[in-house]
């Protein structure tokens, strides 16, 4: 079976997008999932609170290393899901050829919201962010599954 390639994008690729990547990998076996940041400190680990909050959910993102979004990663992705409308706009300006496959995660599942950045927050802030991501990703899985082309 073919897999759908999903790219999550946030600002630094150390909090929201690695958590979203871990959640989707955990919940969607027909998805190839990556994450990147618009202003990522390349090779930085995921934030400790993000790792801890995901570990409590049975998901290990401890090996994650931040990466800056590139044209090749954008080209390979079937769907690009951003955390905010500002991320979406930035990607559409940076990679106009990919504009048609870029959505905010909320927009993709018909929920009008941006995902607040938990950066520098405590574990409760990260946990609340992970709760939102988990709910939206659960809504995204059926839609993503419906996009897979049968082999």
Sign of CA dihedral 135, 137, 141, 144: positive
Task: Tell whether the model's pLDDT for residue 1 goes beyond 70.
Answer: no
Catalytic residues: 10, 16, 117
Task: Tell whether the model's pLDDT for residue 35 goes beyond 80.
Answer: yes
pLDDT tens digit sequence for 114-132: 999 999 999 999 999 999 9
Spatial distance between the Cα atoms of 59 and 4, rounded to a whole number of angstroms: 21
The CATH H-level superfamily of 5-143 is Response regulator (3.40.50.2300)
**How many CB atoms neighbour CB 78 within 10 A?**
17
> What pTM does this model have?
0.97
What is the chain's mean pLDDT, rounded?
A: 96
Looking at residue 149, its pLDDT comes to 75
Looking at residue 151, its pLDDT comes to 64
């Amino acid at each position: 079976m073919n897999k759908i390639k999903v790219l999550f994008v946030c600002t630094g690729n150390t909090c929201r997008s690695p958590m979203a990547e871990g959640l989707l990998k955990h919940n969607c076996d027909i998805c190839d999932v990556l994450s990147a940041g618009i202003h990522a400190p390349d090779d930085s680990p995921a934030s400790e609170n993000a790792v801890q909050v995901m570990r409590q959910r049975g998901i290990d993102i401890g090996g994650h290393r931040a990466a800056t979004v590139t044209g090749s990663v954008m080209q390979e992705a079937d769907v690009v899901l951003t955390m905010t409308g500002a991320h979406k706009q930035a990607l559409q300006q940076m990679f106009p050829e990919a504009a048609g496959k870029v959505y905010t995660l909320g927009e993709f599942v018909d929920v009008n919201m941006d995902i607040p950045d938990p950066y520098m927050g405590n574990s409760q802030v990260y946990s609340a962010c992970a709760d939102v991501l988990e709910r939206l990703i659960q809504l995204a899985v059926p839609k993503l599954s419906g996009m897979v082309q049968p082999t």
